[in-house]
Structure formats: C-alpha cells, structure tokens
Amino acid sequence: MRSRILSILLLAFLAACSDPASRSDAQSTAAAKPSGLRGPPLPSATRRAPTDAAQVKLSFSPVVKKTAPAVVNISSKRVVRQVDPFFEMFGMGVPRARVEGSLGSGVIVRSDGIIVTNNHVIEGGQEITVSLYDRREFPAKVLLADAKADIAVLKIDAKDLPTLAISSGEDLQVGDLVLAIGNPFGVGQTVTNGIISALNRTDVGAESVSSYIQTDAAINPGNSGGALVDMDGNLIGVNSMILSRSGGSVGVGFAIPGPIVRQVVDTALGGGKTVARPWLGVAGQAVTGEIARSLGLDRPEGLLLADVYPGSAAARAGLHQGDAILTVDGQAVNDESSLNYRIGTRKVGETVAIGYQRDGKAKTVRVAVETPPSRARDQQLLQGRNPFDGAVVMNLSPAAAIELDMDPFVSGVLISEIRGGLSVNAGLRPGDLIREVNGRKIASVADLKSVLAGAGRAWAVEIERNGQKISASFNL
C-alpha cells in the first residue's frame, strides 16, 4: 500500500512540473530560433510536490504530445558479399549478396529536416530511411558521422517538421524526471519514464568523448538514437547504450548529453566534416585517498597531472606535473575523461577557468582552449630492398593520434598499414612506431626516407609496440 501511494505521488510530482503551454521549449524555441540550437540556457521546470488530489490525477501525456512527433524511426541497410565458408576453404565459391539492416531512432532538431541519431545506428549503411511520426518515409543523407561522440547528423527533404530544442543541461539534477522515446525492438514508438540516476558518467566501458547521463527509464535495442527529454519537453540527451547481461533493460541506460549533441550538429550545419574539439594538453590520474592526503586535500578529488605536453595551452598557462586540476569553470573534475568532456565541449578559442592545487594552495588560471597540435602526415608507401618495403608510414602528431585512438603524447613515425613486401617477413605490424634505424633517431617520414636511401644490406631497427621497445637486425 505504501509503495502504491509513493507511485501516485511520483506521478503527481511529474504533473506538477508539466505545463507545456507555458514552459515547453520543444516547439517555441524552434519557432523563435530556426536552428533550435543556439541561445541562452533553456529554462527549467519548477520542482515542487503535488498539493491536491487533482494534481495526482495528471499524467505524462502533455509532455508526450509535445515531444513524440519529433522522434523518428531510422532503418539502415547495407549489401554484404559473402562466400559460403565450405567453398571458401578450397578457394572456390561465388560471392552472394546479402542485405543487412539495423533499426534505431532519431530526433528532429531543425524543422527543415535536420535529424540526430547514434553513429552506430547508421554506420556502414548504404540506404538510410527515416519514418516520421505521421508515417511518411524519406531517404536520408549523412551530413556528419562522428564515431567518437557516437552521433550522426542526417538530412531529409522535408519542411515544417516538429522539433525538439537541445538543452544545455546546466540545470540537470540527479532525481529529475525524464522520458525516453524511441522504437525498441522495432515495435513502434514507445515512451518510458524514469529519473536521472547519475550525471557525468565516464567510466562505463565505452570509447567516447561523452560524459553520460545515466537513467533508469527503460531503454532497449532500437531505442538507440532516440530522445531523452525533461519535463519541459527539451532534448537533454540522445539514448545510446545500456548495461545488461541479458540484452534487455535492467534500469541502467546511458544518454549522450545535449552539449555533445549540439557540438556535432553545429559542426555539420557549418559544413564541417570532422568535429574540432579543444584539447588542454595534459595527462594524469584520478586522485585517490592516499594521493589526496599527500596533497593536503580533505577528500579524493581532481586529476593529478603526470605530464603536460610541451607548448600546449596547459603548458603556456603554467600548469605542470604534480598539479591537481579540481574544476573547470566551477564544475568538478575527477578523472581524465571528465576533464576531456569539460574542455572538449567548449568552442576553440574560448577561455575557461581551471581551478587547481599546487603545494597545498588553491589556484585558478584562465586558459584559451585550442585544438591539439598537428603537422603534415606525409603518408607514403615505402618500397625497396629494406625491412619497410610494403609498409605505409605517416608522421604522428597529437591531432592524428587522437583521431586514431592513440596516446596523444606519443609522436614519431607510425606504420599505418602493411601491404605486403619485405615488411611482412620482417614482422612489422600496423600501429608500430619506428624509433631508430641504423643508429639514427627517426622523428619524421623524411628522416626515415633519408636513412633508407643511404643504407646498404644490413639493417638495425628499433620499433615501439604497445609501449614496449623491440630491436631487430636484418640482412637483405
């Protein structure tokens, strides 16, 4: 009986916060600002408990009516050619075409047909179809697919569509009521409700630039790319993944927050093909209890800097090894992922306030964030009588390393591909870093080619693989 009363009160709380006519930004913001993407932080609902029986009888339906029409279904198809495994063993068989498909959801964020979804929903798709709330279907083209954020921006040829405004998320709090809208298991549009279970989740086993919103609203396969909305009808996140042993929802779902979605959409609308994310230029570890005591902190918090990239924004601001970064613009930082999120969602050139501790004293420094350093890749296929014959090499910079999901503090010449030749017999692999050849340090592709041009038949090579140095000699 007590649990039933609590459930009724929870619904009443939702209804008390839901007055779409006066507060929803889902339609009004899009009308005032056609993109629905820029402007001051969106207003938030007033949090209050129900005060009478009439409020207890109210429901989620006013929010759903305002938001559901802007959530779409997405199907993606690709043709895969495959040979029967039995015949493949004997080098025989004719490839057969097989169509693979995936189903997901998306959200209309601009009335002229701009839609966001997860990158993994459309990845590899050769034919993408968007089905609207009113059952109309449109072919879609990809404006930008960002694998790191797991966000893709699509465009369909339609006008005057319902939209959801992307929230800045600045006022989100754990315990806030939310709705998840999508197409689970392909059954059709479905609405589930829950709360924000946690904010700024970074260590959830996903390679991403996001700091996720965790929710207990039911999210299942097919919900990917769908909307997570607040009680004002604003898009606070794009549902992306779940943690589950069974494959179904167990109340641990994660959504990519609005600022990340906004960043990718703004880049796509500006004609960009890659998202330029600022980089502070530091590496470190989360402060443990033992480290906190040694630093004079009253609790474990912050990121202890183990390295600062020379010439980076952090280095020029005076940060150095041993400093503990505690906040970015007043927002707590507790690991490297949360720092990358706080910095990465800023615009290039924007100034942020870094709060840190040094020698037991709290300090603040303002830093103009910038993209990671880059240089010409000079990617080349090497040929000739040398151990690198058939290897494709390139200059590695922090920008290239981040793009390749490598440590940005590692530089040098990278083997990006092996196309055969003597490099196969030499045991070289993609991902190897060439450190030294015949006693000469290799810092660039030009250095390597210079050594190869003047050497004979004997070769002494040192490479770095997975952080370990390997030396070998060859006579060719």
70 is in which domain, residue-wise? 1-272
The answer on 292 and 266 residing in a single domain is no
Buried b (16+ CB within 10 A) or exposed e, 390-419: bbbbbbbbbbbbbeeeeebeebbbbbbebe
| Active-site position among 105, 168, 224, 397 | 224
Assess if residue 14 is contained within a domain. Answer: yes
| Active-site position among 18, 25, 44, 120 | 120
Q: What is the pLDDT of residue 370?
A: 92
Domain boundary at 368, 397, 429, which? 368
Give the bridge partners for 227, in sequence order.
181, 238
Active site residue 203: no
> Where is average pLDDT lowest: 95-109, 171-185, 191-205, 430-444?
95-109
CA distance 35 to 110: 5
Average pLDDT of 449-471? 88
The answer on 334 and 196 residing in a single domain is no
Q: Which of 185, 254, 171 is nearest to 216 (CA)?
A: 254
Per residue in 124-169, pLDDT tens? 878 899 999 999 999 999 999 998 889 999 999 999 999 999 998 8
| Active-site position among 146, 150, 216, 335 | 150
Assess if residue 89 is contained within a domain. Answer: yes
Indicate whether 458 pLDDT > 70: yes
> Where is average pLDDT lowest: 70-74, 302-306, 312-316, 454-458?
454-458
Assess if residue 375 is contained within a domain. Answer: no
Buried b (16+ CB within 10 A) or exposed e, 343-371: bbbbeeeeebebbbbeeeeeeeeebebbe
Residue 100 confidence class, pLDDT cut points 50, 70, 90: low
Average pLDDT of 168-192? 89
Assess if residue 374 is contained within a domain. Answer: no
Q: What is the mean pLDDT of the chain?
A: 83
Q: What is the pLDDT of residue 406?
A: 87
Task: Say if CB 193 and CB 253 are below 8 A apart.
Answer: no
Q: What is the pLDDT of residue 44?
A: 53
- Find all residues with CB under 8 Å of 212, minimum gap 6, and list them: 200, 201, 202, 204, 206, 237, 240, 254, 255, 256, 257
The answer on 294 and 256 residing in a single domain is no
The alpha carbon of 281 is separated from its chain's Cα centroid by a whole number of angstroms, namely: 19
Per the structure, how many domains does the chain have?
A: 3
Indicate whether 204 pLDDT > 80: no
Active site residue 120: yes
Active site residue 224: yes
CB atoms within 10 A of CB 320: 13
* Residues found in the chain: 476
CATH for 345: 2.30.42.10
Per residue in 275-301, pLDDT tens? 888 999 999 999 999 998 888 888 899
DSSP 69: G
